[in-house]
Amino acid sequence: MAVMIGDEAPLFSLPDQDGKMFDLGSMIGKKVMVVYFYPKDETPGCTKEACYFRDRYEDFVSLGADVVGISSDPQRSHQEFATKHNLPFRILSDVDEKVREMYGATGLLGPGRVTYVIDKKGVVRHIFSSQMQATKHIDEAFAMVEKLAKG
């Protein structure tokens, strides 16, 4: 069943592009989290989305938020993708797609492009799902982070 606005975000631990474990539970109470699922490294839409998150990353950080991207690509692919595009945030490997399934982040034709904004209490406050509007994910997420920062 898909995660909905108002639900507690399912907690997970996944390895990032450097092989370090990222644990969502350790972020609860500390930061607003923007968790975005994308289909595949180095595809046009996914690259555009990641680079736009990169370009706006400091804006998110300045409001006390952090960003993580998730796809089923392996760590090495993520490492090359992050290095090539100078991504300052963590890209997580969900090779068996268990986390994607927990969130219900699927599209009509397979892996979906879905972004979740999770508040400091671990509650999902915003969801944006669109395969075609890759950069709108960032604008939508930032607007919600800004709203949460204002209280």
65 and 145 in contact (C-beta within 8 Å)? yes
From the candidates 33, 35, 46, 68, give the one annotated as an active-site residue: 46
CA distance 124 to 137: 15
The alpha-helical segments, DSSP class H, found in the chain are: 44-62, 75-84, 98-103, 136-150
Active site residue 51: no
Q: What is the largest CA-CA distance in the chain?
A: 39
Tokens read off for 57: 């990353």
Catalytic residues: 46
